[in-house]
Amino acid sequence: MHMGSSRSGAPGSGHWQGQGRAGDLLLRALEDLSQLDFKRFRDALAHAELRGCSPIPWGRLQNADWIDTKNLMLEFYGAEAALDVAMTVLEHIQLRNTAAVLRESRERGGNAEQLPAPFQGLCVQEPCRARRLLWMRVPVAGQLGPAPLLGSSPPDHRSGYKRAVRQAYGRMKDLNGRLGDSASLSARYARLVMVTEHRDERQREREIAAVGRGHADLMKERAGSSIAVADLFKPDEEGWSPKEVVLLGAAGMGKTMTARKIMLDWACDRMFEEFDFVFYIHCREGNLLAGEASMADLLARCCPGSPLPLDAVLQQPEKLLFVIDGFDELRFSVEQPWSELCAEPGERRPVAVVLASLFRRRLLCHSSLLITTRPAALQSLRRLLEHERCAEILGFSEADRRDYFQRFFGSAEQAAAAFRFVRGHELLFTMCLVPVVCWIVCTVLRQQLGRAGGLAHGPRTTTGIYVLYLSALLRSLRGRQRRDVPAVLRRLCCLAAGGVRGQRVLFEEQEVQGLALGRQEALPLLLNEHLFQKDISCVSSYGFIHLSFQEFFAALFYLLEDEGEEQEPLVGPSRDVKELLESYGSSRNYFVLTVRFLFGLLNEDRRRELEQETGCKISARITQDLLEWLQDSQKTALALLLEETGLVRDLELCHCLYELQDERLVAAALCPFTGLRLHGLNLNRFDQVVLAFSLRRFPGLQVLELGHCCFLWDEPEDTAEPQPCKKLRRCVGSWAAEPPEPRGFGEICMGRAVTSSHSREAQEEEGMLSPIRMLCQALEASGCKLKTLRLDRCELSTACGTALGSVLGTSPALIELGLAGNKDLGDEGVRMLCEGLRRGAGPLRELRLGGCSITAAGCRALAPVLAAAPGLALLDLSDNAVGDGGVRELCAALRGPGRGLRRLELWQCGLTELSCETLAAVLPDTPSLAELHLGGNAVGDGGVRRLSPGLRDPRCRLRSLRLWQCGLTELGCETLAAVLPDSPSLAELHLGGNAVGDGGVRRLSPGLRDPRCRLRSLSLWQCGLLGACCEDVCSVLRAGCALETLDLSENSLDNGSVRALCRALGQHPGSLQRLWLPSSGLDEETLQEAAALEQVKLM
């Protein structure tokens, strides 16, 4: 990750407070750009000579999407500077209005944080200089006293340490293991699928993207490659080897188990042989360390076995690996000021400062770090690291799940029975992607296998699984222990809720004893005791078997009814659930699962089961509070600003409703909303199940936008890895554990007849292949009254066209359909989509299919849909090789009376002058057409000549014509000059990127001077203009033309010509409001004269 000057070595964290708002403004501006404008923006950001701006390497921008680009700019320049750079680049590529909107948005919202005072004078061109200057002050050698170097220490220290590590990490206990129960970690551990963002072979360097800042900034990256644990520190194709690795995974995904397995495998010489010593530090234990300690003290407490000569060991930090487990569990902040950090391993400081010094690389800066964390804490972690590799644990593949079942049960017969049961219930099987859930399911199923009826029934939600697991534990109790369950449970829930509110997962012995929990014999079933070294003693601390269980019991705390059996009221957090929900907004990552469990426990069946098993009364009194909070949670500041409070913007809402599993309450919760908008998410199979559940029960669903979302799915074969949606494979079985679908979805995914050359069976097969099959099932089951559907850049495949065509054929209300950027859709996918659209025949007004690999064949399939949609106002087929043949097909369908087409986007479509002749015939017959975009097509002067009859026709009402980079010369300008007087509606003409030269301006000027010309905006950037053209421009100004904006930037104008132009503008300003001029090559006197004019904008 490149470090900008606004970040490197910053002594405080205040400058990061503006990052989120600046990022939102940047992302919004980038999303508003067309595909081509976005390409030009990235190109200018990498190659243009922008004053005061350091370019970002093209290798990192070439394949970057909006979010990637935004993140790169923030990291290179910082918040405030990134906004300045964005406006400079936008103006550089002639997007003045977009730059002005961004500037106004920033001014309304206040300035982003400035650079910290020590670095305000540093130049942007040296983004790493601040860190280098600070490093110059850090001692790097001779700081640990007279201890000998590692090479001179006895060689058996390392072998002895490895023996101790094998002893300490070789065995494991199940989360509910009894005294004496343990298993071999190597025998129980099943392989996990880990993915890291693939690197394009053409890129020299690419930042490894993290999973975004919370849910709004989740990075959309295709899971295109898997990586083994042993390869985490190995060099990539470019030879770059990371020193910092972030192992990312949700709660229960196996991060801690993997970290411990790393320790064991290193001690067994199976991996990481390049490290002499590997140290394991668990952050939850660090939370209990009070007072001051040095790094050497911290390691002495963590290392098993005999004491190590740490002074000597720490002398060679390049040979050290620190495994930092559970960064998200740190209770204190490690974002310490740079000046407070320590540089020496022997320096005693608060633990927060010691860890911050390690993360920020001031302490043992040449060591390697492997850090595990939940996604919610990644934002704060990324502020600390410099060049990290990020690997995400996706969980178990199908083969790995089968392997885990075999390892867990031991008995092949029981394992096969349990696996068949779970495999037959796809939702349950999907949840077994998560290792801790897989363990819970196996634990529960082992109990059920021993009962009458066996595996006839099973849970469906996470709450249901936890309820069953808790029931299985409690059923092992007898006599007094069983009678004590209500009292134990209330105290336990109080402890859990206090821990969640205080962001603690370990509890000191005094806290447990204070709740009278220490005397309960049932306690070891629900809490685990840990021995922790503190000073020269060992103390006991307690934690739930997993953080998710603590959150489960914390949720239960708010639903348990008081029955008056307590001798004294419990001292704990408030029982007012509104206080918890208010805290959710500011500390969301700590309360997500707790809130999900709250919804799950409102389910009547779950409450009844718990009451029967625990003997406690469980109330649903908070139902209305939860539903109101859920609805209010979508009224974000952005939603209020955009006046779009009717849209669901958070997948977490769907997760909560899925846990609820109450048809009436789900419909009531969704009733105020009219749509759902998500952006940039990797939707795994469980996410898709959850999303589909809400869509089926969405009473007023009219808008569905899933831009930049990727639908991930597993291979059906055991040997396959998780793949992004673009890989076509057969999907076996039903994904969602829903009731049988209505006819048309019961036996196959897409069962409606489609009139095409494909057989019904072939189309059904394609529907089964579609990774959005579950989404389409849900839409059809809901009745599909969608008005807007946008799936831009979702990596949709050909089969998705079949799936969408089937469901959209039942959606007569569809107004807007956006599928831009799905390059694998292709002609066949468009053809199958059109079959459905023809059946639906809705009032389609906007159709965006840019960048979908469409050719003339696709246009032929599209033509009947266009002909049947007279109200179509926008058609975008840009960045497709449709060619002249495709334009002929389109124009035949678009021309005729009663058409409402207003905007036609055909840039970069491989067109020649023949297409211009075809379009010329359409212009008079389509008076509604106001914008025609033909940029990036080699139509040449002949194309303009063939287009001109249509433009001059009195019936033509075209307002904007874009012909940039079309191979025009001065002859084309002469043709346009004749068109301008006869086209009074034409207000915008874009000719940038054409080599028209001064002669072209001279030939164009008569048309501009004509009183009948009403052109308001003329763009001539990068047109090979020299000083001679300024005389013609002056004549146009003196004639009092209607021009309001004239762009002459990126041309080689001389000083004298520019001064003459400025004088003419001062004397005859006319209507001109903005004149864009190049600043390069002009002397100071000319620049000052130009800057004195309000209308002149220098580039």
Interval 909-936: pLDDT, tens = 999 999 999 999 999 988 899 999 999 9
The answer, yes or no, to whether residue 839 has pLDDT greater than 50, is yes
Say what the pLDDT of residue 1090 is.
Answer: 83
The answer, yes or no, to whether residue 260 has pLDDT greater than 50, is yes
The answer, yes or no, to whether residue 750 has pLDDT greater than 90, is no
- CB atoms closer than 10 angstroms to residue 959: 17
Say what the pLDDT of residue 726 is.
Answer: 36
Say what the pLDDT of residue 534 is.
Answer: 60
Say what the pLDDT of residue 478 is.
Answer: 56
Question: 590 pLDDT band (50/70/90 cuts)?
Answer: low
Q: 781 near 694, Cβ under 8 Å?
A: no
* Helix or strand (DSSP H, E) at 157: helix 156-169
Q: Which of 351-365, 518-532, 634-648 has the lowest mean pLDDT?
A: 518-532
The answer, yes or no, to whether residue 146 has pLDDT greater than 50, is no
CA distances from 652 to 214, 217, 418, 1012 (A): 12, 14, 30, 58
CA separation for the pair 473, 274 (Å, rounded): 44
Residue 313 dihedral angles phi and psi, to the nearest 5°: -60, -45
**Max CA pair span of the chain:** 104
Average pLDDT on 418-427 reads: 66
The answer, yes or no, to whether residue 573 has pLDDT greater than 90, is no
The answer, yes or no, to whether residue 761 has pLDDT greater than 70, is no
Average pLDDT on 736-743 reads: 30
- Tell me what the pLDDT averaged over the chain comes to: 76
Q: What is the per-residue DSSP string for 510-572?
A: HHHHHTT-TT-TTHHHHEEEEEEEETTEEEEEEEESSHHHHHHHHHHHTTBPP-S--SS---S
Q: Which of 444-453, 531-540, 976-985, 1031-1040 has the lowest mean pLDDT?
A: 531-540
Question: 736 pLDDT band (50/70/90 cuts)?
Answer: very low
Alpha helix (H) ranges present in 791-879?
A: 798-808, 826-840, 856-867
848: three-class secondary structure by DSSP: strand
The answer, yes or no, to whether residue 1005 has pLDDT greater than 70, is yes
Q: Return the CA Rg of the chain.
A: 33
CA separation for the pair 316, 149 (Å, rounded): 8
Closest Cα partner for 780 from 744, 819, 829, 737? 744
Question: 250 pLDDT band (50/70/90 cuts)?
Answer: low
Say what the pLDDT of residue 175 is.
Answer: 54
- CB atoms closer than 10 angstroms to residue 222: 17
* Pairing verdict, β 193-195 and 277-282: unpaired
Say what the pLDDT of residue 111 is.
Answer: 41
Question: 517 pLDDT band (50/70/90 cuts)?
Answer: low
**pLDDT tens track for 686-733:** 788 889 989 999 988 999 999 999 887 643 333 333 333 333 322 222
> Could you tell me the pTM of the whole model?
0.59
pLDDT: is 20 or 172 the higher one? Answer: 172
Q: 839 near 813, Cβ under 8 Å?
A: no
Question: 571 pLDDT band (50/70/90 cuts)?
Answer: low
Q: 1025 near 995, Cβ under 8 Å?
A: no
Which residues neighbour 812 within 8 Å (Cβ) at sequence distance 6 or greater? 840, 841, 842
The answer, yes or no, to whether residue 659 has pLDDT greater than 50, is yes
Handedness of CA 582, 586, 587, 593 (dihedral sign): positive
pLDDT: is 568 or 283 the higher one? Answer: 283
Average pLDDT on 899-909 reads: 93
Average pLDDT on 1029-1056 reads: 88
CA separation for the pair 615, 1045 (Å, rounded): 77
Q: 112 near 18, Cβ under 8 Å?
A: yes
Between CA 667 and CA 673, with CA 668 as vertex, the angle to 5 degrees is: 80
Percent of the chain topping pLDDT 70: 74
Say what the pLDDT of residue 769 is.
Answer: 61
pLDDT: is 101 or 521 the higher one? Answer: 101
Say what the pLDDT of residue 985 is.
Answer: 93
Closest Cα partner for 458 from 470, 472, 444? 444
The answer, yes or no, to whether residue 980 has pLDDT greater than 60, is yes
Q: Which of 418-432, 622-636, 703-717, 738-752 has the lowest mean pLDDT?
A: 738-752
pLDDT: is 299 or 209 the higher one? Answer: 299
**pLDDT tens track for 210-239:** 222 232 232 233 334 568 888 899 888 888
Which residues neighbour 132 within 8 Å (Cβ) at sequence distance 6 or greater? none
Say what the pLDDT of residue 205 is.
Answer: 29
